[in-house]
Structure formats: C-alpha cells, structure tokens
Chain A
Amino acid sequence: MSLLHRPHVSPEHVTRVRHLLMAIRGDKLALFALLIFVFYCLVALLAPLLSPYDVNSTDFMDLENAELAPYWQTGDSRFLLGTDTQGRDLLSVILYGTRLSLTIGVCAVLIQVLLGVSIGLLSGYIGGRLDAFLMRVADIQLSFSTMMVAIVVLAIFQTMFGNAAYQQLAMLMLILVLGIAEWPIFARTVRACVFAEKEKEYVDAARILGVSKLHIMLRHILPNTVSPILVILTIQIANAIVAEAALSFLGLGMPPSQPSLGALISSGFNYLFSGAWWISVFPSVTLILLIFVMNLLGDWLRDHLNPKEIRG
C-alpha cells in the first residue's frame, strides 16, 4: 500500500507513547507483564519499607534461626518464607536482593547505552575510517563472550586486591564489567539506524539550513533511533541481571553479606537436596519471573515500535 494512506487510516496514532498505551490496553498478556514489572520496580525501590527486618541491623543475622522452613510448614510467623543458612529472614533478603539485582542490571545497561549510543551515533554519522575503526573494535569486543570477560576480569581483580577489597567494590565492578562488555550491541543498532536516517531528506534539509553536525546528531537523528534502543534496553537489562546472577552463582558476583538474587540462589543451592529447598527456590522463582516478564515486554515493544527500524 502506498504511504499516502497513513494520514487517513490512523489519525489517532498521535505520539509514540499514546500509540503504545493504546496498544497495551488491548493486549492482556503485555499488560499483565507490565504490571508485574512495575510491581518489581516498586518492591526494589521500597525494599527498606517493605521488608519485615532491617537487613543492616546487627541482630538480623542470627545463626540460631538458620534454615527455618517457611511459615506454612513451621507455623513460625516471624519468618514468612523461612530463613537462609545464616538465619536471615528470606523474605527480607529477597526484597533486598531484587533491589540489588535490578540496580546492577539497570546501571550496567545505562553504561551500555551511554557508550553504545554515543559510539553508534558518531560511527554512523561521520562514517568512513572512524566508523570502520569503531566497528572493528565492536566486533572484537563482541567476539569475546561477556561471561568470559567478566570471569577473567573479576577473578583477576579478586586475586589482586584480595577478598576484602572485592567485597566492598563488588557492585561497582559488576556494573562496570557488564556495562563495558556489551556496548557494541547498542552501538551496532544505533549505527544501523543512523545510516538509515541520515540518508533521509530531512537530514539534508537540516544541513542546507546550516544546522551544526552535533545538533543534527542529537536533535534530528537520535530521537528517531529511540524505538530500537528501547527494545534492546529491556532485553539487555534482563540479560545483565541474568549475567550478574550467573557470576554470583560462580562466586564472582555479590558477596554473601550483600546477596543479590544470584548469590542467594547460589548459597542455597547446596542445601537444595538436603531439605532446605526454600533457600534456593524462592529467589529462583523471583528471578525467573522477572526475566520472563522483561523478555515479554521486550518482545511486545519490538512488535509495536516500528519493526522495520529494528531489523537493521
């Protein structure tokens, strides 16, 4: 069909946001996923208010209470989901763990976005040698798998500076490593978009008017690459959370004193078959649900934000 029809067919599709809101109202599954995601975010934000115990207080960890089963098995109303191996209330730990996992995921992806988008924009708009160089760097970066890089870097860091220093800086390190390892994903997508956009006549029109290069990149081209960025963003956050969980599981992530979801699963894993299943299972379920919901949202966004742009 010719493009000429668009104004007639959908006068309602005024803005991207409104378009998405309208679409999500009609899609039960996506709406459900969105609600759960919002719930997670709220939990993460409000963890200190919601959790029944203050995880920072000294009496929070009490080995006497270690490995208590959930409320419905013990009848012990102090610990709704039971306790972990160190006697911490599992519910509180999970709340804080979710907060940590999400924070690490989001921050890591923010770094990815910052690096990826600026490199992608430069590479795509300026092109030529610079583009070739940056893209080769991206290729090289991507050819090492994220996990491998992370394991090597974190392991080296741990042996060099010792465990104590590591425990303090673990979160920062995780964010940096995960952030730096995957920027090429954003860079490539943005670059492809910029290539598509910069051939369009509105960019020529801006150049003819004398608009500066920087302004063209930021004001004209960047807003037109937001849709694909948004899609990758959701999926990348999920990926970063999973990566962090995997690293924690391997003992390279968050220390047991400050457990993320991955570290919790890891610490409970050894007890899985010795009866204390809850220590591992509850955090796992929390994590899986979060990842599932984020992937659902990512896929849904991909379908609803101009799919053509994203393929590039």
Chain B
Amino acid sequence: MSKPLVTFHRLEKVFRARSEWRWPLRWPRKQSRHPKVYALNGIDLSIHRGETLCVVGETGCGKSTLARLLVGLERPDEGAVYFDDQRIDQLSDSQRMPFRKKIQMVFQNPYASLNPRMTVYQILREAIRLHHAGWSRTQVDQFIEELLQSVGLTKDAEDRYPHEFSGGQRQRISLARALSVEPKLIIADEPLAALDVSVQAQVLNLMMDKQKELGLTYLFITHDLAVVEHFATRVAVMYLGRVCEVADRATLFDAPKHPYTQALLSSIPRLDNLDLEPIHLTGEVPTPLEKPMGCSFCNRCPLANQRCYEQIPMLVTQSDGSQVACHAVEEGRTWK
C-alpha cells in the first residue's frame, strides 16, 4: 500500500481554562472549578490518498477538534500530524502557507461559513489572490467563472451576497471556495447537517463528482450513517477522544466488532430494516473531563471486565483488515 496522505500519531488535545482575567463576565464561582477537557486522548489514524474517510461518533467525542487540528486552527498538546510525510502540527503561520493550499475545509453551518458582507466574487477572489498572486484580473475572472460553473452555479451568482442563496447553494459556494486553491484534501465537518434530504443528495453528488474529477481525498465528519454507508471508503468510529474502530465501509457495516460501533449502528432509524430494535446503552453519559484510565467506553459497555477499567485497549488489526481497540474482541468474548 502506498504511503498515507495524512497520519495522526498519538494525538492528544486538552482544552484548559483561559486566563482568569475575564472574571467580570462570569457568574460568581470558585476559580479552581474550571475544568480541563480531554478532547482527544491519543488518536492514531491515517488517511489514504483518494479515499473518503468518514468519522462518526457521539456529540463531543472530538471529531471537530480533530479536523481543526489538521487544518491548523488548533495545536495538539501531544503527538504529531504528518501530511505527505512532513510534520505540520507545529508550523508557524508562514511555514504553513504551502499546506494551506493542499488542505481545505467545508463547514457545517451554511449560514455562518460565508461572510455575509462579501459578494460571492469577493469571497472566491480572496483565496485566489493569496495562492495565485501573479494572476491578472482577466485570469482571475475567468477562473472564478469556471469555478462557479463547476459547482453548478451560474456567472450571475458572482455579484450576489450569501443570504440570497439557499442552504444547498451556499454549501456549493463553500465547496467552490475550498476548491479554488486546488487542494488535495478536503475536510468536511457535517456539511449536510443543515440541509434537506433532497438538497443533501445534490451536495453529496457534487462532492463525489469532484472527487472523481480531481482525485480529491475527503475527511468527512457526519452523524448520518446512511450517508456514511453510501459515501465512505473507510470509516473511523470515535468515542471520547479515541478511535475505537477503523474499517472498510463494507466490513464495518457487515461485521461491526467494537461494542460501541454495534450500539451505534443499531440505533439509527433505517428504512431497509424497520424491525431492528436499537441496543440501548445504559450507564452514564461520557465526560471528557477526566482522563480515562482504561477503555473510555467501559462504564457503558455490556462486555466490560476488570481489565477494561485498568488498561487502555490499543488498535489491533483483525483478520479482515479492520482495526479495533477492544479487549473483548481481542479475547474473543462476544455479545450474549
């Protein structure tokens, strides 16, 4: 197999309280209570060239944090991020410039991800001016026109403001902005969450077309497993800042191995399997406020034993190529 495009190596991220100087804006409270949030606790993951890696998991498990680390909006506390075998997590703003061209992002909220006071032309030109500094006015104009056409918008969209477009059209503009620097990797953080089913189909189709056309790699974060099943090449399941299972799409959906993956898959309402009863997870909702000692899923896992509370399970490659971090799978214990 060829070298992966992106590798996360033992990535950790802890959010701490900001400086306490902002006291007048808070309600009275004891200072020491401000928590540390352990958002990522050692992520090992790689993204291969040309694939679509979908990341799924509960709210607050660190998906967006992972994405923000990769694009350089946050810095990791521990571990490293490699892009094309070069370490990129500690770069300064100017050193990062060549990588910005290669990694772009599309956001969840189509209503907040475009500056309401800039026309579509201005939005797209900004990116082009930074990364193709030498271009002439006519070159830029022509490029923007082609770009808009390639995402299914017409030239007269140029001089309009974002609020004149519908949600799906705005996501197209976001995608055009990301594509304008001709990136290799596009990170999409729940790009469909605010859209209707029918509009979701339009945006997904567009993303697939672009992938075929330009050989893009996607890191796709979503809650919608139906989309995952359709769109992903591989899937990474996250739980509380750790990756618990990584597998090919087919493998994951046919034979989920990690207990959390199994619960997750059974809980989605699905049209093709109407009588499937969801597995209900019992136990406390997880908190990223303490660093977990053993498996982060242990207090909700039906298969947990003593070892799970004490030892962190590592990702182990299974016979079918999937990677699972679970003691029970390793020991061969299964669901009753």
Which stretch of B109-117, B275-283, B300-308, B321-329 is in the interface? B109-117
Alpha-carbon distance between A104 and B130 when the two chains are bound, in angstroms:
43
Contacts A7-B164, A201-B107, A208-B72 given; does A132 touch B21 at CB 8 Å: yes
Alpha-carbon distance between A129 and B181 when the two chains are bound, in angstroms:
35
The answer to whether B100 and A204 have CB atoms under 8 Å apart is no
Does A207 belong to the interface (CB within 8 Å)? yes
Does B255 belong to the interface (CB within 8 Å)? no
Choice from A6, A11, A15, A224 contacting B115 with Cβ under 8 Å: A224
What number of A residues sit within 8 Å (CB to CB) of B?
30
Alpha-carbon distance between A209 and B126 when the two chains are bound, in angstroms:
9
The answer to whether A208 and B71 have CB atoms under 8 Å apart is yes
Choice from B19, B21, B174 contacting A205 with Cβ under 8 Å: B174
The answer to whether A208 and B130 have CB atoms under 8 Å apart is no
Choice from B105, B164, B167 contacting A4 with Cβ under 8 Å: B167
Does B165 belong to the interface (CB within 8 Å)? yes
Alpha-carbon distance between A209 and B194 when the two chains are bound, in angstroms:
23
Tell me which residues across on chain B come within 8 A of A162, comparing CB atoms.
none
The answer to whether A132 and B19 have CB atoms under 8 Å apart is yes
- Chain A residue with minimal CB distance to B103? A208
Does A14 belong to the interface (CB within 8 Å)? yes
Q: Which of A1-29 contact B (CB under 8 A)?
A: 3-4, 6-7, 11, 13-15
Does B104 belong to the interface (CB within 8 Å)? yes
The answer to whether A204 and B174 have CB atoms under 8 Å apart is no
The answer to whether A211 and B126 have CB atoms under 8 Å apart is yes
Does A200 belong to the interface (CB within 8 Å)? yes
Q: Which of A128-146 contact B (CB under 8 A)?
A: 128-129, 131-133, 139
Alpha-carbon distance between A306 and B177 when the two chains are bound, in angstroms:
27
Alpha-carbon distance between A205 and B163 when the two chains are bound, in angstroms:
17
Tell me which residues across on chain B come within 8 A of A15, comparing CB atoms.
161
Does B108 belong to the interface (CB within 8 Å)? yes
Does B22 belong to the interface (CB within 8 Å)? yes
Tell me which residues across on chain B come within 8 A of A75, comparing CB atoms.
none
- 1/0 per residue, CB under 8 A from B, across A138-156: the answer is 0100000000000000000
- Chain A residue with minimal CB distance to B93? A210
Alpha-carbon distance between A245 and B194 when the two chains are bound, in angstroms:
54
The answer to whether A208 and B104 have CB atoms under 8 Å apart is yes
Choice from A6, A14, A208 contacting B73 with Cβ under 8 Å: A208
Alpha-carbon distance between A209 and B73 when the two chains are bound, in angstroms:
11
Alpha-carbon distance between A129 and B19 when the two chains are bound, in angstroms:
7
Does A275 belong to the interface (CB within 8 Å)? no
The answer to whether A211 and B130 have CB atoms under 8 Å apart is yes
Tell me which residues across on chain A come within 8 A of B177, comparing CB atoms.
205, 209
Tell me which residues across on chain A come within 8 A of B24, comparing CB atoms.
139
Tell me which residues across on chain A come within 8 A of B130, comparing CB atoms.
209-211
Tell me which residues across on chain B come within 8 A of A114, comparing CB atoms.
none
Alpha-carbon distance between A206 and B104 when the two chains are bound, in angstroms:
10
Alpha-carbon distance between A13 and B116 when the two chains are bound, in angstroms:
13
The answer to whether A207 and B165 have CB atoms under 8 Å apart is no
What number of B residues sit within 8 Å (CB to CB) of A?
41
Does A220 belong to the interface (CB within 8 Å)? yes
Choice from A6, A200, A210, A211 contacting B163 with Cβ under 8 Å: A6
The answer to whether A128 and B18 have CB atoms under 8 Å apart is yes
- Chain B residue with minimal CB distance to A199? B112
Does A71 belong to the interface (CB within 8 Å)? no
Alpha-carbon distance between A220 and B131 when the two chains are bound, in angstroms:
18
- Chain B residue with minimal CB distance to A132? B21
Does A202 belong to the interface (CB within 8 Å)? yes
Tell me which residues across on chain B come within 8 A of A139, comparing CB atoms.
24
The answer to whether B164 and A204 have CB atoms under 8 Å apart is no
The answer to whether B107 and A205 have CB atoms under 8 Å apart is yes
Of A128, A139, A210, most B-chain CB atoms within 10 Å? A210
Q: How far is the CB of B1 from chain A (nearest CB, A)?
A: 29
Choice from B22, B105, B114, B194 contacting A208 with Cβ under 8 Å: B105
Alpha-carbon distance between A207 and B131 when the two chains are bound, in angstroms:
13
Contacts A128-B19, A208-B71, A210-B96 given; does A224 touch B105 at CB 8 Å: no
Choice from A6, A133, A201 contacting B112 with Cβ under 8 Å: A201
Tell me which residues across on chain B come within 8 A of A132, comparing CB atoms.
19, 21-22
Tell me which residues across on chain B come within 8 A of A211, comparing CB atoms.
126, 130
Tell me which residues across on chain B come within 8 A of A129, comparing CB atoms.
19, 21
Q: How far is the CB of B122 from chain A (nearest CB, A)?
A: 9
Q: How far is the CB of B45 from chain A (nearest CB, A)?
A: 20
Alpha-carbon distance between A215 and B40 when the two chains are bound, in angstroms:
32
- 1/0 per residue, CB under 8 A from B, across A186-218: the answer is 000000000000001110111111110000000
Q: How far is the CB of A279 from chain B (nearest CB, A)?
A: 48
The answer to whether B164 and A14 have CB atoms under 8 Å apart is yes
Q: How far is the CB of A131 from chain B (nearest CB, A)?
A: 8
Q: How far is the CB of B162 from chain A (nearest CB, A)?
A: 9
Does B206 belong to the interface (CB within 8 Å)? no
Q: Which of B82-138 contact A (CB under 8 A)?
A: 93, 96-97, 100, 103-105, 107-109, 111-118, 126-127, 130-131
Q: How far is the CB of B219 from chain A (nearest CB, A)?
A: 13
Does B154 belong to the interface (CB within 8 Å)? no
Does B166 belong to the interface (CB within 8 Å)? yes
Please report A residues at the B interface, Cβ cutoff 8 Å. 3-4, 6-7, 11, 13-15, 127-129, 131-133, 139, 200-202, 204-211, 219-220, 223-224
Cβ contacts A to B, 18 pairs, < 8 Å: A4-B194, A7-B163, A127-B18, A131-B22, A200-B112, A200-B113, A201-B107, A201-B108, A201-B112, A201-B113, A204-B68, A205-B105, A208-B71, A208-B72, A209-B104, A210-B93, A210-B96, A210-B131
